[in-house]
Amino acid sequence: MRNRISCSAQTLTQLEPAMIRSVVGGQVYGLGNQYFTESRVRILETADGTVSAEVSGTFGIYTQTVKLRSGVLATKCSCPSNEKPFCRHCVAVLLQHYQEMATEEAPAQEPDPPVVSAQEARQSDTSQSTDFNFRDVTTFVDWMQSCVGGLGRDPSLPVLPKLPPGAVRGWGEAIDSLHRQFLDSEEARMETQMNLQAAQEQIVSFTQALDEARREAKDAQGACAGLQTEIKQYQESLSDADNVREQRDRGAQQMKVTREELQKKTSELSGIVEAISHLSQNLKE
């Protein structure tokens, strides 16, 4: 699948995630972001505003080429998807490229250790000893309320708050895991549906080609029948010509015999005329 769109960015590194999401929409962006977060993208080559990559999809590995030149973003993917303006696999490649470029440009520095107050330390100890406390449950409930609208739809839920190990944290991790599993199955269903649609389109194309071949074969059969009729007519004409030739030969033979008989009769008549002439002369004498 090939696509070309106008782009305000001058380089691929300027394509921030928010800009990509605004272009492709939440659903396609969410699927591409999931591929990216699951480390399914492998950048093969980056040079002169062009990125070549591979993405591991549900049914195989697809190859992508993304170019940004003169304000035009051109994408190419070997997948059968009809997502516009470009597919989830190209979204994942752009996110991976953005992260790698940001990592290369960012200065390496050690993160500062988190500052934990004595009160938080005591609360942590208390939560670990009692598995969860009221504050943790309240935090979890607030997080759940923010997740309700996106469960089963959005590719990523709000970030799970930092909760101490225990039951409450386990609840959040279990919900997030179930949400991801549901999206994975939904993505597999959508990709299967798209592959099925592509297969149906191919079947329609093959059926049309078969119908066209049948029409051509029928036309060829009609032309062949016409040729056979003409051949039969030619054969009949040749037979008539043979009959005429035979009649001509018989007529010529009869004419030859008649001519010979006429010559014979002419010779006999000449003899009789000569005899009569001779007799006539004798009588005169």
Strand order in the sheet with 2-6: 2-6, 72-77, 60-69, 50-57, 41-47
In the chain, the largest separation of any two C-alpha atoms, in whole Å, equals 189
The residues, ordered by sequence, that sit 6+ positions from 223 with a Cβ below 8 Å of its Cβ are: none
The pLDDT of residue 182: 77
CB 68 within 8 A of CB 12: yes
Low-confidence ranges of the chain (pLDDT < 50): 108, 110-111, 113-132
CB 52 within 8 A of CB 64: yes
The pLDDT of residue 155: 65
The residues, ordered by sequence, that sit 6+ positions from 55 with a Cβ below 8 Å of its Cβ are: 35, 40, 41, 42, 61, 62, 64, 89, 92, 93
The pLDDT of residue 83: 87
Neighbours of 99 (CB within 10 A): 13
* Nearest C-alpha neighbor of 123 from the set 163, 90, 180, 174: 163
Distance separating alpha carbons of residues 42 and 60, to the nearest angstrom: 14
- 152 phi-psi bin (left φ>0, alpha ψ -120 to 50, beta other): left
The pTM of the whole model exceeds 0.85: no
φ/ψ of 163, rounded to 5, equals -110, 150
Neighbours of 154 (CB within 10 A): 15
The pLDDT of residue 115: 45
